[in-house]
């Protein structure tokens, strides 16, 4: 037997196996064909059920149902849309210039009003801070010019449905309608009634990063879910109750072999049996509400 020739091969296999383990390629939830096996799915669904049960009737759920949590972009573009491609690029790159003075108001509280129920009084963001939240770039090239602002109102989707909220209305050069920026700050997030699970420990369970959009009829949502570089992307399933919608995510088609450790996000459309309505949207891994956030945005709108 030629053991001399086999040593390099054995060493190479050991190195490849070590790289794979360090990078997390492959997945203990995968069966034949790269699909989640029944045991893994049962573990994921069981965790989703635990999250739903923990939130039902909890103090956290009560606080959530009484708070203000925006579930749409807090910056709203002019009603006419962008007049030119240059303006659209300027907005996407957050390239603005201020020519004029922004108001300084003594008002320290703003309002949030739903169609029913008591309104909320929330701290009001100043015009300068509101402007700086979207005007992050002041470079050469296509840019939009803000000439002034006034305090007004806009409508935004929240965790409790549509609400009229205080907003700063920024006048843009060349536009008849303003760019609106919600001026009220979100409520403090309640402490979850259940702790976070370790990623990958519950049948390969992964995090749902954020909500990216809701269909007009509320029967489907688009979320951003995480996955690795050596799989076919995220798979997101749902557990619906009367009070909550719990999302539990994993990856599909995990591949064996060496793999980089990068974490990616991808949009996934999830169908619901009933409209989302005012049910709380929860992530099974973290046990927390799923925040709204643009796919390329800096952070979710209420974190």
Q: What is the pLDDT of residues 153-163, one digit of tens each?
A: 999 999 888 99
287, 51 in Cβ contact below 8 A? yes
Between these two residues, 114 and 229, which has the higher pLDDT value? 114
| Residue at 19 is within a domain | no
pTM of the model: 0.77
Shared-domain flag, residues 205 and 235 = yes
3-state secondary structure of 300: coil
Number of domains making up the chain: 2
Q: Which one of 182, 200, 222 terminates a domain? A: 182
**Closest to 183 in 3D by CA, of 109, 278, 268, 265:** 109
Asked, for residue 212, whether it belongs to a domain, the answer is yes
Last residue of a domain, one of 182, 199, 233: 182
Same domain, 144 and 111: yes
Rounded Cα distance, 126 and 137, in Å:
19
**Looking at the structure, do residues 277 and 129 belong to the same domain, yes or no?**
no
- What does pLDDT average to over the chain? 83
Q: What stretch of H or E contains 52?
A: helix 38-55
Looking at residue 201, what is its pLDDT?
74
In a domain, 288, yes or no: no
The H or E element that residue 248 is part of is strand 244-251
Q: Does residue 298 lie within any of the structural domains? A: no
Q: Could you tell me if 241 and 208 lie in one domain? A: yes
Question: Is residue 80 in a domain?
Answer: yes
């Amino acid at each position: 037997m030629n053991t001399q020739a086999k040593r390099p091969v054995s060493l190479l296999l050991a190195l490849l196996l070590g790289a794979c383990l360090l990078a997390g390629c492959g997945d203990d939830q995968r069966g034949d064909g790269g699909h989640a096996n029944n045991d893994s799915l049962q573990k994921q669904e069981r965790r989703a059920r635990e999250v739903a049960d923990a939130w039902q009737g909890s103090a956290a759920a009560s606080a959530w149902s009484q708070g203000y949590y925006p579930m749409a972009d807090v910056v709203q573009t002019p009603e006419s849309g962008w007049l030119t491609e240059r303006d659209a690029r300027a907005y996407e790159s957050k390239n603005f210039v201020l020519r004029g003075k922004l108001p300084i108001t003594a008002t320290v509280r703003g309002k949030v009003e739903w169609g029913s129920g008591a309104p909320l009084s929330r701290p009001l963001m100043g015009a300068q801070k509101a402007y700086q939240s979207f005007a992050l770039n002041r470079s050469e090239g296509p840019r939009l010019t803000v000439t002034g602002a006034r305090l007004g109102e806009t409508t935004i989707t929240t965790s409790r449905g549509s609400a009229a909220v205080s907003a700063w209305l920024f006048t843009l050069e060349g536009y008849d309608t303003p760019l609106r920026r919600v001026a009220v700050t979100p409520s403090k997030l309640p402490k979850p009634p259940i702790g976070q699970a370790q990623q990958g420990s519950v049948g390969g369970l992964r995090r749902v990063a954020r909500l990216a959009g809701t269909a007009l009829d509320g029967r489907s949502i688009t979320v951003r879910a995480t996955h690795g570089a050596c799989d076919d992307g995220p798979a997101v399933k749902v557990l619906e109750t009367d009070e909550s919608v719990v999302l539990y995510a994993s990856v599909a088609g995990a591949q064996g072999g060496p793999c980089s450790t990068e974490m990616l996000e991808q949009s996934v459309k999830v169908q619901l049996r009933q409209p989302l309505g005012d049910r709380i949207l929860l992530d099974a891994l973290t046990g927390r509400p799923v925040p709204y956030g643009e796919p390329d945005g800096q952070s979710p709108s209420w974190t």
